[in-house]
Amino acid sequence: MDVTIYHNPRCSKSRQTLQLLESQDIQPIIIEYLKQPPTHQQLDSILRGLDMQPRDLMRRGEDAYAELQLDDDTLSRDQLIEAMIAQPKLIQRPIVVAGDGIVIGRPPEAVLEILP
Contact (Cβ atoms closer than 8 angstroms) between residue 46 and residue 5? no
Q: What angle do CA 66, 62, 32 make, to 5 degrees?
A: 135
87: how many CB neighbours lie within 10 A of its CB? 20
Q: What distance in Å separates the CA atoms of residue 50 and residue 15, rounded to the nearest whole number?
A: 21
**Domain map (residue ranges) of the chain:** 3-114
Q: Which residues are catalytic?
A: 11
Domain spanning 3-114: CATH superfamily: Glutaredoxin (3.40.30.10)
Convert the pLDDT of each residue in 4-33 to its tens digit: 999 999 999 999 999 999 999 999 999 999
Convert the pLDDT of each residue in 68-101 to its tens digit: 999 999 999 999 999 999 999 999 999 999 999 9
Convert the pLDDT of each residue in 25-77 to its tens digit: 999 999 999 999 999 999 999 999 999 999 999 999 999 999 999 999 999 99
Contact (Cβ atoms closer than 8 angstroms) between residue 81 and residue 47? yes
Global pTM value: 0.94
Residues 6+ apart with CB under 8 A from 86: 37
Confidence tier at 1 by pLDDT (50, 70, 90): confident
